[in-house]
Amino acid sequence: MREIIFDTETTGLDAREDRIIEIGGIELKDHFPTGRTIHLFINPDGKKVHPDALAVHGITDEFLGDKPVFAKQADQILEFFGDAMWIAHNANFDMGFINAEFARIGLPPIANTQVIDTLQLARRKHPMGPNSLDALCRRYGIDNSHRLKHGALLDSELLAEVYIELIGGRQTALGLGGPENSKSRIHVEGEVVTLRTRPMPLGSRLTVEDVVAHSALVRKMGEKAIWLKYGLEIEATAK
């Protein structure tokens, strides 16, 4: 299963008037990153960055001046996303802008059935909140200390880790954070606990006498006892 965790930065808050100026995303397959990413800056085609938006992401009109407009990058975006699920935090915002940009160049919108909103997932799992990306990083012990301003690719990387936690947690790391990802991590009362593999596996605590006694008991249950599928084999192995 392919999923793209993505984020956008925009010139403002109104998808009807404002424009996307940055999009970043990372590809997951079966909830693990493949290493494929997309990160594009987009010229807003004459629309100025609102000062409030500038304070959030720090992307200036001057920086965007020589970047390609959305129409010239749409094919690259669609090729990267393909048939994957589009996953974003407060997806209504991001998809509103994505579909508005597609409409401007005559492309069909992305269907709601192809979109997952991690904010909705978080609200169902943690109804008392808070459920901002920063708050969820704190809840799950994900290091976001390098997030001084919003950035589409960085936010996508953080959201990928949050997303895995929201859908049930991970037994192996996502591969986004270095050598520690070779070990399993779990969360206990808000703390991240690293589980290391034993150098030597623990031996079985069952004795041969235990296995033989159990097999004898199972036989008394009759031919339909489900344990017969396993007990006799275990007894033979134990002997």
For residues 119 and 132, what is the distance between their CA atoms, to the nearest angstrom?
A: 8
Cα(181)–Cα(175) distance, integer angstroms = 5
> Residue 201 is which amino acid?
P
Tell me the C-alpha distance between 174 and 61, whole Å. 35
Report residue 218: phi and psi, to 5°: -65, -40
Is the four-CA dihedral 212, 214, 217, 218 of positive or negative sign? Answer: negative
Question: Among all residues, which ones are annotated catalytic?
Answer: 150
Buried b (16+ CB within 10 A) or exposed e, 70-109: beebbeebeebbeebebbbbbbebbbbbbbbbbeeeeeee
| Residues sharing a CB contact under 8 Å with residue 105, sequence separation 6 or more, in sequence order | 70, 71, 74
Angle, alpha carbons 176-181-184 (nearest 5°): 130
Q: Where are the beta strands (DSSP E) in the chain?
A: 2-10, 20-29, 32-41, 85-88, 115-117, 184-188, 191-195
What the block records as the tokens of 21 is 């100026």
